[in-house]
Structure 1
Amino acid sequence: MSDFRSNRLDMSRRFALKAFGGSAIAGLSLGPFSHAIAAPVFRTYPFQLGVASGEPEPDGFVIWTRLAPEPFEIGYGMPSAAVEVEWQVGADERMQEVVAWGTALARPELGHSVHVEVGGLQPARPYWYRFVAGRERSAIGRSKTAPALGQPTEQMRFAIAGCQNYEQGYYTAHRHLAREEPDFVFCYGDYIYEGRGNRFRNRRDGPVETVRQHFGDEIYSLDDYRRRYAQYKMDVDLQAAHAAAPWFMTWDDHEIDNNWAANLDQDDTPPVAFDLRRQMAMQAYYENMPLRPSALPVGPAMQLYRQARFGDLLDLNLLDTRQYRTNQPCGDRWVENCEEIESRDAEMLGRRQESWLAEKLRGTSSRWQVLAQQVMMMDLDRTPGEGHNQNTDSWAGYRTPRERILQQIRDAGLKSAIILTGDEHQNYAGQVHLDGKRPLAEPIANEFVSTSISSGGDGEDQRERTKGIQEENPASLKWHNSQRGYVLCDVSPTQWVTEFKTLNRVTERGGTIGTRKRMMVEQSVPSSLNET
C-alpha cells in the first residue's frame, strides 16, 4: 500500500474516532469507490426519513437523504461533525449495474442532509439509487431523467400533490400515487403544517378527534421545523411516493406560517422578527427536500422559481406566490366589495419573477406552457346571488398582476397554457378569462386545481355551496369535487388529459382509490375543455 493511501486511511480512522467516539468504529466500508472510508456504526437506523429525488434534467437529477437515527431528539442522534455518505445510481432496480457513484458529506450545519447532483446519465429513462453510511444502506429509490431538450416527445405522465395535514388524515393517496410511477411529481406546497398538536378538531357539527397528533407546540425554531418535517417524512406512504419518482418542490404558506406574504405574517409580528422565523423555516425546508444546492437559502430568502423543459412537449414554469407578494388586501378576508383588490401597486410574483416568466413565455417553442403554482387564478364569485365575493389570498385579491400575467400569455400568442394549482382542498377544472366578471368568448388558459392529500379529512363528492358557486360561474368553473386524492396529467402533442383520482376515506387506513373525472383539452384550442 502506498504511503499516500495508508496516510489517507489513518486520517479517515482518526476523523471517525473523533466524530463518533472509539466504540463507534467497526471497520472499513468497501464498495465500487476509489478509496475506503472509516465506517461508523449507528445504534439506530440512520435513514429514518427515507430517500428522494428531484429536479430531473436530460442528463441527471438530484438525490437526497438526511441522516437522523433519532429524529425527535436534540441533535436527532447525530454528532456535531460532518459524516461521509456513499451514493450509488444504478441502471436496474436491483442495483446490479451501478453507472454512477461517489461520496458526499452530510454536514451538521444542514441537519446532516445530502443533496447530490447526479449527471452524465441518458435522457428519458428510469434509474435507481441508494445511499450507504457505515454498514447501513438506505432503501432503493427510483428516478427518471427528462427527455433531451427539443427531442420529439409523444407522451408524458406526471402527478400533482400537496396539502397533507398530518392530523387530518392518513397518506393513503401517496401509496397509490407511488404505484403510478409517474415521470415526475409536482408538489404545490403545504408539505407540512405549522400549528401545535391538537387532540380535537372543531367542525360545524362539533369537535372530532384528530386522526393523529402533531408533535409539540407551534413551530418557530430550526429544531422545531426539523422535528415537524421528521414526523411527516417518517410516514411510510409518503416515503414510498418520494422513492417512486422525482419531485419538483414548491411551497405555499404552511411551510412557514398560515397566509404569510413576504415578511408579513397574520399575527402582525414585527417583520424583523418574522424574518428570523422565515430564515429557520427555509433552512429546514431545504434540508428536507430534493433541491439543488443552488436553492440553499441566504438569510430569509430562497430561490424557488425556475423552469424545467421536457423535450419539445412542455415547459414547466414553477412559480413562488408567497415570497414576493404584497400584503393581502381587505384584511385578508373573503369580501364582496373592496377597492384594495384593484390596487395598481399590488404584486403577487414580484416584478423580477414576473419579468422572468414573461421572458420564458415569449421564448417558448414547446407545445404546452405550464404555470405550476399555488393559489387559484380563476376569478370566481364565491357567494351565489348578488355581489361578487372573493378569496383575497388567491389571485382574485391581486387583480392587477393577474391581468398582466394573462396579457403576457395572450400577447405571446400562446393557445396551450395550462395553470396547475393547489391550496383549495378541492378539485376544480375550469377556464381562466382575462376579465372574470365579463368573460370573453375564448379563455386565456385552462386551470386544474388538485385537491389535498389529507387536509380537510374525508370530504364529500360535491359540496352544496360549491355547486352554487359553479352555477354562479358557468363560464369559468366546469367541474368540482371535494374528496381527497391527487391528480394525474397525461400529455401528448395533441391533447392534455387531467385525471382526478379520489379516495373514499383518509380518516381511516385502507381507503380505496378511483378515477372521479377525466377532463381533456385540445392543443391550441383553449375553449375545448370537456369531460372525456
Structure 2
Amino acid sequence: MTSTLSRRRFLKSTAVGGMAVTASLAIPGLSRASSRPIITHGLQSGDVDTQSAMIWARTDRPSRMLVEVDTTDSFANPRRLAAIDALPESDFAVKRLLEGLPSDQEIFYRVAFQDLNDVKAVSVPMVGRLRTAPASRRDIRFAWSGDTAGQGWGIDEARGGMKIYATMLKHRPDFFLHSGDTVYSDGPLKESVELADGTTWKNIVTPEKSKVAETLNEYRGQWKYNLLDANLRAMNAEVPTFFQWDDHEVVNNWSASKDLTADDRYTEKNVALLAARAGRAFHEMTPIRYQPAEPGRVYRKIAYGPLLDVFFLDLRSYRGPNGASMETEMSDASRVLGAEQLAWLKRELATSRATWKVIACDMPIGVIVWDDWKAQAGAEAVANGDDGAPKGRELEFADLLRFIRAADIDNIVWLTADVHYTAAHHYSPDRAQIQDFKPFWEFVSGPLHAGTFGPNALDKTFGPDVKYVKAPDESQGANLPPSMGLQFFGLVDIDGASEQMTVRLMDVADQELYSVTLDPVRKG
C-alpha cells in the first residue's frame, strides 16, 4: 500500500511554505490584508481511473481555484492547470477533472484560491494525495460502507468525532466506496442526547442541521456539516471516495408515493422538488464525475485496472412508487433500477474484461426493508417478503441474474449498506425459487457513524444464506449510538498475483469480524 504524506512535507507544501507555494503557483504575493480566501472544508478526490481523477474544494467567496499537480509531494516539477472559478451559484464549491495522469502513480495536487476582487489575496494552499488505477496487475485494497451522521448521532468531538474514518485510513485503501445515506437531510440534530449509561452525547449543531433540509442551501449544509469532522477531512485528503446515494440524501424512503402532508417538519411538501434540490447539492458537494448525457446521473462504471471494474447502481432515482411490490409482470410501477439503467448494466457487465466485477448497490437484494416498519408493509428495497417466485421489484433482479448466467459472466460480487449492521450473504439457486442464475456473494456493511439496528429478516426468493451477521441483540434495543462500538466497514483485497479476492468485515475498533477469500473463475 502507498505510504502516507509525511507531516513535515505536508506542512512544507502548505501553510509553512506559504510564500514559496504562491510563487510556484505563479500568482502575485500574498496580500497583507487581514482577510483572504480560505479553503473551508478540506479537499476531496474521487472517481479515479488509470488516467484521471476528480478533485473538489470549497472557498468562502468568489475566487479562482488554482491547482498544481505533481508526482512528488515536494512539487519540484508541478503541472499548473488553468484556473477555474468558484462562484455563489455553486456555494463556492468547485471540482475539476485531472486528466493525462500516469497510471499506478501517486499524484499530489495542491489547491489555492485567489480572490476575484483582490488578486493579491490568496488562500493558504492545501495538498491532497491520490493514487491512480493500475494499467497492469497489482494488489488492490479498498473499503466500503454507508450511513453517516444519522438517527441523531452527529459529531461529538469529546468522543473523538467520526472515529471510523480514522480507522479506515489506517488501512491505506486505494479508494473508499460510500454506499449511500452519505448525509441525513431528514435527521435534525439536538445539542445533547442522554445515553443509557448515564452519559451525555453532545453534538455539534449548525443551523442547517437543526431542522430537516428543504432549501438548496439547507441540503448543501448537510454536506458541510459532515466535513466539520477532522477524521473525515483527513481521510478525504488522502483517499479518493466513490459516492452513490440512497434515500436520506433527500428524505426517508422517498419515491413517487412519498407523502409529506402530515409531516409538520416540512413546509415544502413537493418531494420531487426536494429531490431536485438534494441532487444538485449531492453533485456540487462531492467529487463525482459529471455525465453530459444526464448531468444528475449517479449510476456509472469505474474501471480500476485489469483486475477490477466497479459498477455503481442507483436504486432510488428510477424506481416506481413504494408499495406492496407484488406485480407478476414487469411494469413501470414494479421497477427499481429502471429499463435504461438495467440495459446499461447488462451491456457493461457483458463487455467487462476485468477479473472481478463489483456491483455497488445502495440497498441489499434479499434483506427485507419495509416502507412502513410499524405495519411491516410495503417494499422499500427489492425484497417483498413473500419468499415466493419473483414479483414486483424482484422481477428486474431475476431478469438481471438470468442474463448474467446466459452471458456466462463470472466473478460478480455485490457490496451494499443501508440496513445499519454488517453481514455476509451467499445466494444460490439450490435454495431459491428460481434456478437459472449463478451463485453469488453479497456483503453488507455500515453504519459508518449513525444508529445501529437489525438484523432484518431475509426473503428466500433468491436463496440467501447468512454466513455471518453482527447486529444489536434483543437486549440492546435499536438506534444504538456510535459510542456502543457497533459501527462497521468492509475491506476488500485483490491479490495481484493470484487474483483472489479477500473480503473482511471490520468494526470501528479495527477488529476483523469475518473474512472470506474468493477464488476467481478462469476460463480457457
Same-fold call, TM > 0.5?
yes
AA aligned to 2:418 is: D
Query: Is structure 2 residue 326 aligned with structure 1 residue 340?
Result: yes
Query: Is structure 2 residue 138 aligned with structure 1 residue 154?
Result: yes
For the 8 Å contact 2:30–2:122, the answer to whether it is kept is no
AA aligned to 1:344 is: M
- Aligned counterparts of 1:417 and 1:316: Cα–Cα separation in 2: 10
1:301-351 residue CA offsets vs partner (Å, 9 max, x unmatched): x11111111222111111111000111222xxxxxxxx6264532111110
Q: Please name the residue that 2:153 is paired with.
A: 168
Q: What's the CA shift for 1:291?
A: 2.1
- Aligned counterparts of 2:27 and 2:240: Cα–Cα separation in 1: 30
Instruction: State how 1:74-473 maps to structure 2 within 5 Å.
Output: 78=61, 82-133=62-113, 134-148=121-135, 151=136, 153-165=137-149, 167-168=152-153, 170-194=161-185, 195-198=187-190, 210-212=201-203, 214-215=205-206, 216-261=210-255, 263-267=256-260, 273-294=270-291, 302-330=296-324, 340=326, 342=328, 344-345=330-331, 346-378=334-366, 392-397=379-384, 398-433=393-428, 437-438=432-433, 443-456=438-451
Aligned-pair identity (%): 21
TM-score by length of 2: 0.77
- Root-mean-square deviation (CA, aligned residues, Å) is 3.5
SS across alignment from 2:270: helix
Q: Which has the higher helix share?
A: 1
For the 8 Å contact 2:219–2:278, the answer to whether it is kept is yes
TM-score by length of 1: 0.76
| Cα distance change on mapping 1:30 and 1:208 into 2, 3 Å | closer
- Aligned counterparts of 2:25 and 2:426: Cα–Cα separation in 1: 54
AA aligned to 1:157 is: R
For the 8 Å contact 1:361–1:412, the answer to whether it is kept is no
| Cα distance change on mapping 1:179 and 1:97 into 2, 3 Å | farther
SS across alignment from 2:182: coil
Q: What's the CA shift for 1:30?
A: 4.8
- Aligned counterparts of 1:283 and 1:450: Cα–Cα separation in 2: 27
Query: Is structure 2 residue 41 aligned with structure 1 residue 56?
Result: no
* Match of residue 513, structure 2, among 502, 511, 516: 516
For the 8 Å contact 1:259–1:265, the answer to whether it is kept is yes
Unaligned runs of 5+ in 1: 1-26, 69-77, 331-338, 383-388, 504-511, 526-532
AA aligned to 1:162 is: G
SS across alignment from 2:354: coil
AA aligned to 1:280 is: R
Q: What's the CA shift for 1:227?
A: 2.0
| Cα distance change on mapping 1:471 and 1:357 into 2, 3 Å | closer
| Cα distance change on mapping 1:198 and 1:140 into 2, 3 Å | same
SS across alignment from 1:193: coil
For the 8 Å contact 2:362–2:418, the answer to whether it is kept is yes
Query: Is structure 2 residue 481 aligned with structure 1 residue 487?
Result: no
Q: What's the CA shift for 1:29?
A: 9.2
AA aligned to 1:350 is: G
Q: What's the CA shift for 1:135?
A: 3.2
| Cα distance change on mapping 1:494 and 1:391 into 2, 3 Å | farther
| Cα distance change on mapping 1:402 and 1:174 into 2, 3 Å | same
* Match of residue 467, structure 2, among 467, 472, 478: 478
| Cα distance change on mapping 1:290 and 1:322 into 2, 3 Å | same
AA aligned to 2:282 is: Y
- Aligned counterparts of 2:94 and 2:382: Cα–Cα separation in 1: 36
SS across alignment from 2:425: strand
Count of residue correspondences:
451
Q: What's the CA shift for 1:281?
A: 1.2
Q: What's the CA shift for 1:391?
A: 7.7
AA aligned to 1:224 is: E
- Aligned counterparts of 1:381 and 1:268: Cα–Cα separation in 2: 23
AA aligned to 2:504 is: E
For the 8 Å contact 1:29–1:39, the answer to whether it is kept is no
For the 8 Å contact 1:380–1:476, the answer to whether it is kept is no
Q: What's the CA shift for 1:237?
A: 0.7
